[in-house]
Amino acid sequence: MTQSPPAALDLADMTWPPPPYRTPDPAVTDEHGIRRHDGLTYATTPGFRPRLLDVRVPAGEGPFPVVIWIHGGGWLDGDRRYPPPTVPVELLHGSVLGAGLALVSIDYRHSLEAPFPAQLHDVKAAIRYVRKFAAALGLDGDRIGVWGESAGGHLAALAGLVGPDSPALEGTQGVGSGDTGVLAVVDWYGVSDLIALADHPMPEMPGGPDFPDPYAALLGGTVAERPALARTASPVTHACLPGLPPFLLIHGTQDGLVPYSQSEQLAEALTQAGGEVTLRPVEGADHIFLGSPDIESIVTESVTFLGRHLGAGV
């Protein structure tokens, strides 16, 4: 493994107070020619942990289209480095890079650190960071797609639907302004309508009765207490404008945590708005595709969709 030579000090990182992000460190290149940037700080806020992202760039000449991966975890948990346990990290990363796409995996503030829309603000900040430093990272800032699972699927959908007409949802974290539009969205079993979920019984959570209610934690109160914010946080609310990016929704039909009907609702709303949407049921699968015998084909379909709409190989 070879290390690129140190870059010249960037005076933008030496000012006081420091900027709310850091310029990328030099890449590390592995024996396969994959270039890696680990733990780049894309946004900071006093009192919160820095928000970090990792970059993986395929071997060869770029710039490469970008897939931004958004992890799940009920907005309460999760880590940019780890997909759900049903999806090996080697499968996810290898499939994206093998298709000629760069992969950017991001962390974001959890809901008990800061309620919604902090999570969406962080996703938007990551997109702005990628665009600002695209040339330095070997990325094509004009060709960005988002892909998330569970809570990350919800945030990916919102990232594709919410634009500059909703400045309160764009935020000013990190690189404070700039284009946050994306060309494609893959949403794995994400929430689309918090109001409709209010009466859905929650399955037993891993922390037992002490595990916080994920929806109340996200909103800073129950749906009944904060119905306006619940509507704002629901992708179906925003699936009504022209010029929407194409969506791929993949969802287990036996999902006990986020019912399959959530993706059906979003698909219907996107269709009524004239958007391009593909809804793919995974028969008999629970949340995180538990019970599916063929995770690889789900990953392949998702990467193929992104590669087609981002122009991989062009």
d(CA 53, CA 309): 23
- Note the helical H segments in the chain: 89-98, 118-132, 134-137, 151-161, 167-170, 194-197, 214-219, 227-232, 235-238, 260-272, 295-310
Q: How many secondary structure helices (H) and strands (E) does the chain include?
A: 11, 10
**Radius of gyration of the chain from its Cα atoms, rounded to whole angstroms:** 19
How long a stretch of residues is the chain? 314
Q: 177 an active-site residue? A: no
CA–CA distance, 178 with 176 (Å, rounded to integer)? 7
The 3-state secondary structure of 240-273 reads CCCCCCCEEEEEECCCCCCCHHHHHHHHHHHHHC
Q: Of 110, 238, 251, 287, which one is the catalytic site residue?
A: 287
Catalytic residue chosen out of the listed positions 95, 105, 150, 234: 150
What is the H or E stretch that residue 140 is in?
A: strand 139-149
* Spatial distance between the Cα atoms of 32 and 167, rounded to a whole number of angstroms: 42
Amino acid (one-letter) located at 255: D
Which of 193, 255, 263, 302 does the annotation list as catalytic?
255
Residue 149 near residue 71 (C-beta atoms within 8 A): yes
**CB of 98 closer than 8 Å to CB of 313:** no
* Catalytic site includes residue 140: no
Residue 287: active-site member = yes
CA distance 67 to 184: 9
**44, 21 in Cβ contact below 8 A?**
yes
CA atoms within 13 A on the CB side of 43: 27
Catalytic residues: 150, 255, 287
